[in-house]
Amino acid sequence: MENTKKLHVGLIFGGNSSEHDVSKRSAHNIYDAMDKDKYDVSLFLMTKDGYFLGTKASTRVFNGEPEDEVARQEIAKLDKSNPLAPILNLSEDANIDVFFPIIHGNLGEDGTIQGLLRLLNKPYVGSGVLASAMSFDKDITKKILKLAGIAITRYELLTPLTVENYSYDSLSAELGQVLFVKPANQGSSVGIHKVENADDYAEAIRDAFRYDSKVLVEEAIEGPEELEISVLGNLHPIASKVGAIKIPANDEFYTYDNKFVDASQVQFDVPVKIPESLSQQLTKMALDSYRALGLKGMARIDFLVSQDQEPYVSEVNTLPGFTNISLYPQLFAASGISYTELIDRLIQLANEEFERQSKVLYDFKPLPPRDQDIK
């Protein structure tokens, strides 16, 4: 007789980053795509204040009730003197089989939620603590990829202690007249500025430091084509076909508004027609980047391709968007993996990685002592 027991999935969404609302949209799409004959789903909303709401309250918000009011009511019930108050509601469903965190940005992609779920000893979708943290930090990502021999754009790293050592003139002399200023730990193009003069540079630096204490100043690739590849897997990842983003002519780069506010003028070519040699090169770079960073589950690898067809890894997203216009699921749909199958595979990969880690931790047998160690 077939075992018809459903897996109990805890879908975690929201968060306290600038991508809170994006996460909510991703969660709706994931929930709708999940096969309810296979899964029971409990919802856990992390509020903008960093508190987890229980399943009933999270479902109320999920179904359209005002989040601020629901959150206020639920947080008021908690004992704030308890240092575990922000996460207490996760105990509502102790029988969760696997968690699916889809919190974009800090706390979700930076290893924080992964560390919590690791402490809870539960399987979860996506990369582990270290891989998430490295990939979320653009500076660390670039350093790892450079060590792996993968092409990246040139940049300088600025901190509050070093920022006065860098001027627009000195940086433009090194990297070119057009520069991009980016917070090291931020997503969805938040805090990113394209600058071409000293005044714009000064304002961009001020804004970028609002989001992080590390800021990258990068060279600009002239007239780049923005291409993306989705990756799925653990030790043996697979890559999707290549997709392209065509931004409106009057926009200088792919902004937060392009992605999530008004994408009506953005065009997606999925899959994009490019030379087969370039497609193979990008696929290899995507898989090499995935392995170099130790990623698991999923990631979207973004590229900039110059006018002379030189590709550079631009960014790595370990919990990419699942909104209606997000490229991660679109690229796999174009590659023959449906949205529902994609969710199935991600949950399966989460369980496989949990089992692998458990064997490493608990089934480890030390090497026998060497002869000289025996007394």
Structural domain total, the chain:
3
- CATH number, domain with residue 244: 3.30.470.20
Looking at the domain assignment, is residue 86 inside a domain?
yes
Looking at the domain assignment, is residue 130 inside a domain?
no
Looking at the domain assignment, is residue 355 inside a domain?
no
- CATH number, domain with residue 17: 3.40.50.20
Does 210 lie in the same domain as 234?
A: no
Q: Are 247 and 253 in contact (CB under 8 A)?
A: yes
242 has which bridge partners?
229
> What does the H/E/C string look like for 266-323?
CEEECCCCCCHHHHHHHHHHHHHHHHHCCCCEEEEEEEEECCCCCEEEEEEECCCCCC
Give the CA radius of gyration of the chain: 22
Domain of 248, in residue numbers? 225-337
Residues 83 and 33: their CA atoms lie apart, in Å, by 36
Among 106, 125, 144, give the residue marking a domain's end: 125
∠ at Cα 253 (296, 338), nearest 5°? 40
Looking at the domain assignment, is residue 132 inside a domain?
no
- What is the overall mean pLDDT for the chain? 91
Among 75, 104, 125, give the residue marking a domain's end: 125
> Residues 155-183: pLDDT tens digits?
999 999 999 999 999 999 999 999 999 99
> What band does 64 get if pLDDT is binned at 50, 70 and 90?
very high
Q: Which residue has the tokens 């879908």?
A: 11
Classify 244 as helix, strand or coil.
strand
Residue 367 pLDDT > 80: no
Does 278 lie in the same domain as 179?
A: no
Among 219, 241, 258, give the residue marking a domain's end: 219
Residues 87 and 7: their CA atoms lie apart, in Å, by 22
Residues 206 and 278: their CA atoms lie apart, in Å, by 38
Does 170 lie in the same domain as 248?
A: no
Looking at the domain assignment, is residue 29 inside a domain?
yes
> Residues 101-153: pLDDT tens digits?
999 988 999 999 999 999 999 999 999 999 999 999 999 999 999 999 999 99
Residues 198 and 169: their CA atoms lie apart, in Å, by 7
Looking at the domain assignment, is residue 185 inside a domain?
yes
